[in-house]
Each structure stands twice: as C-alpha cells, then as structure tokens.
Structure 1
C-alpha cells in the first residue's frame, strides 16, 4: 500500500505558499511559461533521483524560510556550473528564489545556507509544488516557512515591534554575512559574457566619483567611498540607509 499523501501544514495560510510558488514560476528563465502545481503525493528523497539543477537557500526576515528548487538542466540552456563555467545554477535561479521569498516580506536570502534536501522534503512542514512547462514536468519547488518566536511584551506595546526584531537578530549575532562594495553594475547577455577577453572594457552604470554601494548579503545598507589603506582597498562609510531606502 502506498503511503498517504502528506497534508499541507497549517503553520501559515496556504495562500502564502502558493503566492511564493507563483512568483518563482514567473521568474524562471525558461523559453515557455511555467506553472506551479501543488504536489499532492509524498515528499521524500526519491524526488531527488534524476532531478535537474538543484539549488537550496535560506531566508531570514519577517517570515523565515528554507527553499529548495530543482529545474531540468535543458530548460536552463544546458548544465550551468560545470568546469570552466562563468555562471552557476544558483546564479541563474537566484532571481526566481528572490521573487519567491519576496512575498514573505523584508529579509535576507542566502544560497550559501546549509539546507539538507532529503530532510527538508521529508519534513511535514514543507510544501512542495511541481513545475510544469510546455505540457511536461520540469522540476519542483519546495518551501518550509519557519515561525519566528513571538515576543513577550503585551500586544500593542510601543516597544513590541522593536524588541521582537532585536530578539530575532540576537539569535544570529555570530552568523557571518557577506559584505560587498559595489562601484557599479550593468546587464549583459550570456553571449556577451562568454565573449569577454582580457583587455575588454565593460561600461558600468555609475559615473566617476559617485558613491559606492555597500551591500549585506546582496541588500543595499549603506553608501561609501573607496579608499586605499596600506596598499589594500577599503571603504569609508558616508551614509547608512534605513530599511525602506535599502529596499528601493
């Protein structure tokens, strides 16, 4: 007798899971539109057998979550991330993962997060969606939303929100995050990237002398100017941005 299908957890509204899956499907870089269909069967490690490009990520924010995405390599133009490849599967699929976790509110997404795929698929709190394109299944998307511990202050207290954020961040004080300084960026097609050679000049979207962006795990948090310190580059902070500015 086959095992009973795992029921959808009631940790959050099913609409939240569906919204995340739909946002992800709309951002996948495939030639045909992708639809996300709720997976009604069992979720276990067998789903990983013969799976395509597999990327996992962790999201910490208003709602925290673990996400797992598998897409057939041919749908992504081959097998990204192979020897000598300039782009990885995580690079190609990150915009889709950002779209999915974006529906959970403000937070930080990391594809370096250690998410155990088989354990996550076997977790009763994981919701899984099949990804379909051009009449066939091309992969799956799994998401597990974690509850942030509520604060102990009375509801409506003026310090309630502030203490809640502080308590959540206090638990990850020792977690290392990537701080990046960016002097500009541009968009290029894969063809142009593959055609780059030593000596090529890439024009950026930033004028000379403009402040550099300082990003924490890909999120803009401050502005600064590049300086030289004992023959090493550094950055002098000139402006700290608030949450809304960083999200803009």
Structure 2
C-alpha cells in the first residue's frame, strides 16, 4: 500500500473537507495579560454621610514670609513685616492645613466671612494625602 500523497491529493483533501475537522472560527487575538491593565471591579457605593459630622479646622491664610530670627527679635509694637501677597489677591482657605480654596473676606452681620472664589485641585478628595 502506498501511503504517500502528492500535492494534488493533499489539495483535494483540503478543499473537500474530508479531514473531519470542524471549520475554523476566527477568534479574538490573544491578549497578553501584561499588555493592558485588567479592568478593576467597581466598588459598591458607600454611604459617607457619617463623615459629614466630623469637625475639621478651616483657616484663612492671609499671607506669609520668611525672615531671619535676628530680624524677628528686633520687632516691637510699631514694626511692620512685609508679606508675600499683594493687597486684593484671593486668600488661601485651608482645611486641616491643606489648601482647599481661594477666597475673599466679607462681612456678614458684623462678623467676618469667606466668599469662595475658586476651589483648588480636587476639592475635599485632595485632602486625603
């Protein structure tokens, strides 16, 4: 018995589908797990209303400066220390020491208040670091 195939026999088998194999289906290209980050599962939304009751320290920083200790030791009642912010510039609002917003001072019913002019960065979410 001759078990050798010539090119014509092979081509005939392939075109006739006589190999008994299912037809090939196109599949998605292989994705290397190192090529792209895996999708992160969505965390369930949490009720954060509890945190709304936690007190925080809100301060208004008018300006600042750095001077030698020698100059500070010479300060008396009539001394003037020049600061690094121009008059009329928005002031820094800090929450627990972290910059939160820019504001201007207003007077409400005889008390000082703040009018927020601009929220900086990501707002409260930026205060976590």
Q: Give the TM-score taking structure 1 as reference length.
A: 0.30
The residue aligned with 2:63 is 184
The residue aligned with 1:104 is none
| Structure with higher RCO (Cα < 8 A, 6+ apart) | 1
1:222 aligns with 2:106: no
Aligned length: 87
Structure index of larger Rg: 2
The residue aligned with 2:14 is none
Q: Which has the higher helix share?
A: 1
- Superimposed CA distance per residue, residues 121-170 of structure 1 (whole angstroms, 9 cap, x where no aligned partner): xxxxxxxxxxxxxxxxxxxxxxxxxxxxxxxxxx813x53x94xx66x65
2: CA distance, partners of 1:230 / 1:197: 34
How much is the aligned-residue C-alpha RMSD, in angstroms? 2.8
1:156 aligns with 2:40: yes
The residue aligned with 2:74 is 195
2: CA distance, partners of 1:235 / 1:196: 30
Q: Give the TM-score taking structure 2 as reference length.
A: 0.54
2: CA distance, partners of 1:172 / 1:182: 25
The residue aligned with 2:113 is 234
After TM superposition, list the pairs within 5 Å mapping 1:61-76 onto structure 2: none
After TM superposition, list the pairs within 5 Å mapping 1:95-110 onto structure 2: none
1: CA distance, partners of 2:55 / 2:71: 34
Q: Which has the higher strand share?
A: 1
2: CA distance, partners of 1:183 / 1:230: 22
2: CA distance, partners of 1:223 / 1:211: 6
